[in-house]
Structures are given as C-alpha cells and as structure tokens.
Structure 1
Amino acid sequence: MKSYDIQEMTDMIIKQLELRLKGIPEKAKPTIDEARISDEAFNPTNRLVSSLSERSELNVPTPRSTEMLQELRDATPARIGVWRTGTRPLTKEMLRFRCDHASAVDTVYGEVRSELLEKYELFQIETQYENTENYLKRPDMGRLLTDESAKRILKHCKKGAQVQIVVSDGLSANAVEHNLADVYPALLDSLQALGLKAGTPIFVKGGRVASMDHIGEVLQPDVLVMLIGERPGLVSSSSMSAYMCYRPRKGMLESNRTVLSNIHHGGTPPVEAGAHIGTIVQKMLEQKTSGVKLVI
C-alpha cells in the first residue's frame, strides 16, 4: 500500500474538488496516482512558491478594495480573505487549515531520521525528557542531560572548543529535517571563512533551549550555538531558531542569549541564516559577551 505525504494528499483532494466544480467529466479526471506531483515539487522551496501562487488568487468575490485586500494579504502569511460558503469556510480552505494543524501536531511527535544525523556526523545524546508527553508537561526535564549523556560527551567530544554546535529537535522535528541540510553547511563554511574552529557537533534529543547551559557546563566552549526546532504553528511547522551564548553555564539568564529565529524557507533563508550566525559568533568572541550586551 502506497503512503502519501499529508500535504500531498490534501493538494490532490483539493485538485479533484476543483475539477468537479468545473464540470470536468469523471473519465477525464486524473486518478490519485496521475494527479500525484513529483517529489521535487514537494520540497520546501517549491511548496512555498506554490503556496504564494495560491495566495495571489483572491477568494472574496466583490471586495470593497481589491488593491487594499491584496496588499494586506501580501503583508502577512495569516489567513486573510479566505471567504466562505454561506456561514462556513470554503472546503479547500478548511482542508488546508486542518492539514496545517495536523502537520503542527505531527512535528511535535515526530522523529529526526537517524540517516540525517549520521550524514552530518552529529554525536547523539538526550536529555531527561523520557518521552514526548513528559517533555510537554515538564520543560525542566528537557533542560538537563541524562547522567550517561553528560559522561559520554565529556569522553567523546572536544572540550574547550572555540565554537560548539548543538542541534536539537525541540518542538519541531520538521525544522531539523527541512533546514539542517542548508543551515549547517553554511554555518561551517562561515566559521571556516572567519578562521573559527568548531568542536564535535552534537544532536540532543528532547532538548529545551537551556540544555545548552548544561552542555556548556560540561564542555566549556567559548561560544555555543544551538539550532533547535521552534514551536510549530499554522503557518509553518518547520521553523528553526539559532540560540547563541558566550560561555554558557547552568543558571544563565535568558537575557544573555542571542537568538536568530524563523529560519525556514518562508522566513529567514536557511543558507543566509547559517552565514549570518557565523558573523554573530565572531562578534561574541571579539566582545566576550552575548545577549543584550552584545553590539551587533
């Protein structure tokens, strides 16, 4: 039995509905396999182009000002002017809404593929989160490594590195799946171009932002960069943030962290983000500080 991506299935159903509304004969309608778009069309960049194209079509039949409505829609990814049928939303809009909601839920409970972590040689550890349900209810347990993980990184990872890179699924496994292949190599290239050396890259499963403090306590790098999945929403379930801190230790104030957020193909481009993170890290090393005291 074939499996279909939830976004792919939703797009195919909407296409079938639109054909039916246009009165195209049944025999002329494509089957699901015929309507299935290639894998290339479903990469994040192409999906964004498709989404922007769909948003350019105004559903409101007689807006008071077409120009003003279009300007408002162009200014935000929020669902504006989706229109209705009677008192309910249009079927295609409701399907997209439910699809986006399902994607947000799926990514919280999702897993980052081991093949991806192995490809970038990320040393894998975990926090005390235990499981996803506990992770959501007890944020504090996602801030501390297990005793075994702390021992393993001390034994196998470089201590006192100039720059320590940590990747975590956080609240969005999709963020790592969709962005790591772009942001991580760009970050490494940026550090190399600036003459900065990175330590052993780490992937921490079930991590919260403050888990970087525990890692910093054990490995004591000059700067730690954490690439972590953000809380998913109905606009994007694959948004990543980069939290950076100069000499992080347990008890570090949130104001001492510097963050670059909304890293995804519909926000800050991952490649651009990777390059920019490198320049921020350089400033941290020069100024020996981070957070609100850092002058960027």
Structure 2
Amino acid sequence: MDEQTIQSIVNSVLRELGEHSLPAGQVTRVQPQSNGSQQNNPPAYKPSEAAGSKAEVKDQSQGLEDLSLDKFVHWNGIENGHNDSVNSDMVKQTAARVCQGRAGPRPRTRSLLRFLADHSRSKDTVVKEVAPEWLEQQNLWEVQTCVTDKSEYLRRPDLGRKLSDEAKKTIGERCKKSPQVQVVISDGLSTDAVTNNLEEIIPPLMKGLESAGFTVGTPFFLRYGRVKAQDEIGNLLQAEANLLLIGERPGLGQSESLSCYCVYKPTEKTVESDRMVISNIHTGGTPPIEAAAVIVDLTRKMLEQKASGLKMKR
C-alpha cells in the first residue's frame, strides 16, 4: 500500500471524527537509527478546537467526572434528533440504556464507560461482605450456612441451601419456638440490597406483623444464604409462615434490589411453586415501606388460607 493510499484512509477517518480542515501531512516511516542520531519526525496530528468542543473534551488534569452523576445516568447520546425532547423524555422514564447513540459500529465512549462502571458496581456488590459491625448496629445476630467463604458460595449453590451444625444449634437456642411468622435476613447475591434497604423495611414490617396480631419469631441474619435455606429454618422452628429477605442477583446499574420470599409451613419437601416472592424492593422500584405493607397483607392471606404459592387462592 503506497503512502498516498494510507494518507487517504487517515483523512477519511479524521473526517468521520468531525475534522474538515485537514493538514496535508505525510506518512512517516520509522527507520533504524544510526550513529546515535535522532530521527526528525513531523509533529503528531492535533485535532482542531472545534472538534475538541464537539466531543466535550475537558482539561485532562481534572480527571474524569463521577459516572454515577445524574447527567451521565440520564444522558441522551443521539445527536441532531428529529425531536430531541422525545428522546430526552424517554431517557428520564427508564433505567434501560436507550438513546445511547453510536460511533460507527461501536458504542459511544460515554456509553461504554457507563457500561463498564455499572458492570464493576454489580460485581462489587456480589463479592462484598456484610460487616459484623453493621449487624451489631441493627441488633442482629448471625448464623452461617455450610459455605465457608464468598468464593465457595458462588461455586457451590447447594451448600448455601443448608445450615451448618453450629447454625442449627444457635437458632434452636436463641429463637422463639413455633411462631406464626419467622423473619430471616440474608445477604444472597447483593450485599448492597441488605445494607441499603434493611433500615427502611424491617421496622415497618415488624410493626405491621405485630399490629396484625401475629406472634413473630426472633429475626436474625443468615450469611451466605440461598432461598432454599428458609425451608430448613422454617421446619426447624416450626413456624407457620417464613419470610426471607434476601439480596437478589444485581443487574447493570441496579445492585440494590431486595426480595422477600414467602412460604407457608416450609419443609424439606417444599418446591418452588409453593413459594411467593415480592421483588425489586429498593428506592427506584418498590419502596421498602410500601413493600413492608404488601408483605404483611400477603402473610395475613397465607395464614388465613393455610397455603402459599400455587396452592393459595387469589
């Protein structure tokens, strides 16, 4: 490929980037240096000020802005839209990645950085641990499943469904026996879901259950828990209704979603169709206080009908 062809390709790419006043320029071939002399290369190409302002390039010494700011989350990346207000309104109405725009076949840089940031946030909440100090502040004691650490929890879901021998002993010693309702909190796959929502959902939930006239068991925290673990807990305490608040698998940009799994008289024979779930509990979904009221009402129906899941009449 000759130099003229290469220069033509370079100019074509620069036009796509918004450059129209292109320097003549030339392709520089790197040659081996001899006798210690430096090679005199022409200066590197520098975009014009117009192109820089269009790409919103800022002083690099200031570093990148926080990608969690609202202006990045609700960013309209479509340029010269036929009706830009429609696109902007769409962006504000959903957390989905709409109106991101394209740079040829690739996503825009800002869109890609947001994706990478959200992905990192989702991974972080999975591997983080709920601090024992935080549990003490919430007046919660903890037990653990047969999982030994977070790495094993992710690799062995089966171990997260079983209580350790020590957990069984502690629950038997510290929990009220045969309550109508037993509340359990677990980290699950999102630490942020527990730490960000628990203070808002537990007080109205416990108060609502008591106001409804139910005898409520001793709430506690289950570390490295899976949903199936509530069956063993319910069977161990002989609770009529078991409510498990657990962190859900995070999505991109949403790592704080809590769910409540409800089941009537769970046993080792309980199947998933016996369970009901209220999901998407967080400030951007179902508000925790509202979710608490829904859970109380659902618990009342379960105890009245002595059933849950597909066995319960709607």
Could you say which TM-score interval applies, normalised by the shorter chain?
0.7 to 0.9
Q: What are the superposed Cα offsets for residues 60-89 of structure 1, whole Å, 9 maximum, x if unpaired? A: 012345465456545542111112344443
Q: What are the superposed Cα offsets for residues 96-124 of structure 1, whole Å, 9 maximum, x if unpaired? A: 21111111111111111223322232231
Deviation at 1:183, TM superposition (A): 1.0
Report the counterpart of residue 242 of structure 2 in structure 1. Answer: 224
Report the counterpart of residue 124 of structure 1 in structure 2. Answer: 142
Q: For 1:65-214, what aligned pairs fall within 5 Å after superposition?
A: 65-66=83-84, 69-70=87-88, 72-74=90-92, 76-214=94-232
Secondary structure of the 1:241 match is: strand
Deviation at 1:182, TM superposition (A): 0.6
Deviation at 1:185, TM superposition (A): 1.1
Cα RMSD of the aligned pairs, angstroms, is 2.6
Report the counterpart of residue 276 of structure 1 in structure 2. Answer: 294
Conservation of the 8 A alpha-carbon contact between 2:75 and 2:100 = no
The structure 1 residue matched to 2:271, chosen from 238, 241, 253, is 253
Considering only CA atoms, is the larger Rg found in Structure 1 or Structure 2? 2
Q: 5+ residue gaps in structure 1?
A: 1-16, 37-46
Higher relative contact order (CA 8 A, sep 6+): 1
Letter of the structure 2 residue corresponding to residue 285 of structure 1 = L
Number of positions where the alignment pairs a residue of Structure 1 with one of Structure 2: 261
Q: What are the superposed Cα offsets for residues 14-59 of structure 1, whole Å, 9 maximum, x if unpaired? A: xxx99x9366797xx6x89xx89xxxxxxxxxx7xx64x6555522
Matched-pair identity in % = 41
C-alpha distance 277-221 of structure 1, shift in aligned 2 (>3 A): same
Letter of the structure 2 residue corresponding to residue 203 of structure 1 = F
TM value normalised by structure 1: 0.79
Q: Distance in 2 between matches of 1:189 and 1:119?
A: 19
Q: Distance in 2 between matches of 1:124 and 1:293?
A: 32
Secondary structure of the 1:21 match is: coil
Deviation at 1:126, TM superposition (A): 0.5
Conservation of the 8 A alpha-carbon contact between 2:76 and 2:91 = no
Q: Distance in 2 between matches of 1:260 and 1:76?
A: 21
Report the counterpart of residue 29 of structure 2 in structure 1. Answer: none
Q: 5+ residue gaps in structure 2?
A: 1-51
TM value normalised by structure 2: 0.75
Q: Distance in 2 between matches of 1:89 and 1:142?
A: 39
Q: Distance in 1 between matches of 2:312 and 2:90?
A: 35
Letter of the structure 2 residue corresponding to residue 116 of structure 1 = W
Q: Distance in 2 between matches of 1:135 and 1:279?
A: 33
Report the counterpart of residue 44 of structure 1 in structure 2. Answer: none
Moved more, 169-178 or 92-101: 92-101
Deviation at 1:222, TM superposition (A): 1.0
